[in-house]
């Protein structure tokens, strides 16, 4: 299909390195735009190039200052909409409020649904995101959502960088991640294990412990897989549990390294070989603070999904041969 319109890439302030990297891979310069704050904290956007009738992609992740970043994204979408862009795709590597996806307690907000509505009201036509915390979030939208998977990158990393992976066991730190680990275990032809987190006793401050529900980790290379790490409490508990149960070595692979209040020195002290995260969220500050942190680059996957969207090609094929042929780039 030949389009007479071209790809236009804009970026908010959440992740300039990723936007730059995607733009270089596609050989498409970023549209010059400034996203600043007025003195009263309001967001001001100025797009210095025409986007009329163009295929616009706005790269903005939901990290650190999640609310500022979301507001920037909404205003950028709205500005492109009123500037007559032909189609607007929000590229949101880490979806904000993804954990608030159901009413798990009385009066709890389903904020992920609110975010979906806000994006559409702003004028968004299509969303590209990665490893959604719950895949049903796609159903919160009435516009197409492409949920890219980091799984192919994780698989390549395991095969290339974890020695002894054939004697491995893929571990989920909670029952919710069962699907994710069984898929990886199947593709690698290894076992899987599930850990369950529970409190000793009824009190809110009762000590937490974990028990292995399924699988035997003794003398195995344990590979913890999860979609998100925030405080690192789950990681710490899971690592200690696997260590106590006699795992030979322990590795952790997590897509979204929020690592907001995490004490990276705690990760250093854990009986953990590596903590592998992707750069859906900027990791440059963290890399200096932790020798065990490895960062996998997702910009090839994001760039390829933009190219395919623009050319009207299948995105699902991105996870077949294309993914398996690719080498993982470690930053």
pLDDT digits (tens, 9 = 90+) for 133-163: 888 888 899 999 999 999 999 999 999 999 9
Q: What is the dihedral angle through the alpha carbons of 65, 70, 72, 73, rounded to the nearest 10 degrees?
A: 140
Range with the largest mean pLDDT of 36-50, 200-214, 256-270:
36-50
- Position of tokens 């007559």? 84
Q: Residue 126: which residues within 8 A CB-CB, separation 6 or more?
A: 87, 88, 89, 90, 143, 144, 145, 146, 309
Token pair, residue 244, equals 């106590």
Instruction: Give the pLDDT score at 209.
Output: 73
Closest by CA to 31, choosing from 70, 85, 101, 82, is: 85
Instruction: Give the pLDDT score at 202.
Output: 66
C-alpha–C-alpha distance, residues 215 and 74, integer Å: 45
Q: Residue 305, Cβ neighbours under 10 Å: how many? A: 22
Closest by CA to 124, choosing from 110, 145, 95, 109, is: 145
C-alpha–C-alpha distance, residues 283 and 294, integer Å: 9
Q: What percent of the chain has pLDDT over 90?
A: 66
Q: Is the pLDDT of residue 256 over 80?
A: yes
Instruction: Give the pLDDT score at 210.
Output: 79
Closest by CA to 95, choosing from 312, 259, 255, is: 255
Could you report the per-residue pLDDT of 155-183, keeping only the tens digit for each? 999 999 999 999 999 999 988 888 899 99
Q: Could you say which DSSP state residue 200 is in?
A: S
Token pair, residue 112, equals 């992920």
C-alpha–C-alpha distance, residues 38 and 30, integer Å: 23
Q: Residue 103: which residues within 8 A CB-CB, separation 6 or more?
A: 110
Could you report the per-residue pLDDT of 83-111, keeping only the tens digit for each? 999 999 999 999 999 988 888 888 988 89
Mean pLDDT value of segment 290-295: 87
Mean pLDDT value of segment 23-28: 96
Q: Model's pTM, two decimal places?
A: 0.91
Is residue 149 within 8 A of residue 256, CB to CB? The reply is no
């Amino acid at each position: 299909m030949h389009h007479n319109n071209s790809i236009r890439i804009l970026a908010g302030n959440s992740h300039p390195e990723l936007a730059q990297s995607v733009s270089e891979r596609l050989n498409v310069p970023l549209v010059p735009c400034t996203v600043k704050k007025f003195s009263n904290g309001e967001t001001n956007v100025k797009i210095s190039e025409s986007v009329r009738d163009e295929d616009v992609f706005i790269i903005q992740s939901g990290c650190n200052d999640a609310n500022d970043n979301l507001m920037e994204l909404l205003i950028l979408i709205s500005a492109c909409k009123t500037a007559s862009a032909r189609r607007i795709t929000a590229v949101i590597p880490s979806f904000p409020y993804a954990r608030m996806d159901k009413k798990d307690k009385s009066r709890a907000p389903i904020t992920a649904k609110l975010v979906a509505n806000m994006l559409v009201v702003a004028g968004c036509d299509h969303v590209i995101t990665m490893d959604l915390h719950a895949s049903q979030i796609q159903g919160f939208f009435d516009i197409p959502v492409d949920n890219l998977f980091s799984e192919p990158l994780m698989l390549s990393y395991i095969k290339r960088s974890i020695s002894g992976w054939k004697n491995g066991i893929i571990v989920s730190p909670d029952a919710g991640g069962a699907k994710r680990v069984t898929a990886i275990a199947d593709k690698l032809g290894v076992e899987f294990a599930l850990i369950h987190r529970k409190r000793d006793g009824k009190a809110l401050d009762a000590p937490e412990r974990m028990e292995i529900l399924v699988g035997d980790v003794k003398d195995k290379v344990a590979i913890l897989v999860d979609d998100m790490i925030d405080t690192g409490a789950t990681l710490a508990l899971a690592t200690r549990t696997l260590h106590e149960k006699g795992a030979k070595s322990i590795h952790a692979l997590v897509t979204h390294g929020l690592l907001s209040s995490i004490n990276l020195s705690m990760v250093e002290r854990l009986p953990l070989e590596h903590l592998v995260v992707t750069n859906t969220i900027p990791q440059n500050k963290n890399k200096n603070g932790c020798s065990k942190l490895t960062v996998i680059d997702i910009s090839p996957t994001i760039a390829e999904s933009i190219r395919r969207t623009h050319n009207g090609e299948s995105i699902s094929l991105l996870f077949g041969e294309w993914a398996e042929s690719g080498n993982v780039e470690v930053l």
